[in-house]
Amino acid sequence: MIYYLHELFGINLFGYISVRAGFSFFTALFLTMFLLPKFIRWAKQTSSTQPINKFAPEAHQLKSKTPTMGGVVFIFSAIVASLLSIRFTNLYAIGAVLVLVLFSAIGFIDDFAKVKHNQNLAGLKARTKLFLQIGASFLIAGYLCFVVDFDTNFYVPFLKTPLFDMNSFAIILWILVIIAASNAVNLTDGLDGLATVPSMAAFATLAVFTYIIGNVKFSSYLLYPHFNIGEVTIVATALIGALAGFLWYNCYPAEIFMGDSGSLTIGAVMGYMAIITKNEILLILIGFIFVLETVSVILQVGSFRFRKKRIFLMAPIHHHFEMKKWAESKIIVRFWMIAVLTNILALITLKIR
């Protein structure tokens, strides 16, 4: 909306992506911080609290009365901030908002079922959730392929030219990237604020990439392909602002949890942004904490199935450290530090091409 103040009244300031990105950040931040206390009060009054899995570490049982579904609030704030700031003619930005809407809807259905039945396992069945994620990801991949007509070349870090053209197989890769990222963040969201800061770090890195690749001069100087994706930077900063506002209430000890409505959605947007910046491989470094958590689960399940032995005391890996009696705050901060460091490394690759 504010972009059109530039077009209608000639206010050049609102034509800049950097200015509108700042506007979206603060709009999402303040809207989240305004709405969350009201949502927390409502959630407590209606007993919309977090059901705890009976297999979770003992300390988690104390969190059973903590409100959940905070993702509904900060995703709503991010959507509003984005729509107020982006150019509606930019198909990439519209695609990012579409990801926000589709995956938050899936997460909300899952969260609502858990809260309604007061049972952690009462949400969507794993197959049903996966089917919905595949459907949503297929819509996004189809949108990129047939509406946007997005480049299907496959790039890898450090090389200035693509390896090959994936053609129609690009849709399969894009679906896998979105689903994998969505579920990886979902697995990580197990401690107070654990998924929040790594998500903010990842979006900050991806925002740098969208801004550079969306700028003709910067992309040419750094030998990156140029796509008109600069407007997606605004969606990324909206999510960073929304997550910052959420962290105010989600940091240890948490007053509210994000739930699947938040974790599934931010992971899916990460996947989408990795696709449009041609960073499907670099996403492993950008979202290293999420990859680490996911791999720990895969190794644990595989080891138990084939060897009848566990590798970790409990998976995902943050529970392993809990079982080793690490303080929750120590686990969280150390994981945050790793996330920031790996994102700095990802940004360093900008110049190595």
Q: Where are the domains of the chain?
A: 3-351
pLDDT in tens, 228-259: 999 999 999 999 999 999 999 999 888 999 98
pLDDT in tens, 24-41: 999 999 999 999 999 999
Which structure tokens are listed for 113?
């079922």
What is the pLDDT at residue 195? 95
Angle at 16 between CA 10 and CA 19, to 5 degrees: 110
The list of the chain residues with pLDDT below 70 reads 1, 3-11, 50-64, 117-123
- Which of 320, 321, 316 has its CA nearest to residue 331? 321
Q: pLDDT exceeding 90 applies to what percent of the chain?
A: 74
Output b/e per residue, 296-325; b: 16+ Cβ within 10 A: bbeebeeeeeeeeeeebebbbbbbbbbeee
In the numeric block, the tokens 């198909």 are attached to 91
Which structure tokens are listed for 310?
């566990």
What is the pLDDT at residue 297? 95
Query: Collapsing DSSP states into helix, strand and coil, what is residue 67?
Result: strand
What is the pLDDT at residue 4? 66
Q: Which residues sit opposite 67 in a β-bridge?
A: 49
pLDDT in tens, 159-212: 889 999 999 899 999 999 999 999 999 999 988 899 999 999 999 999 999 999
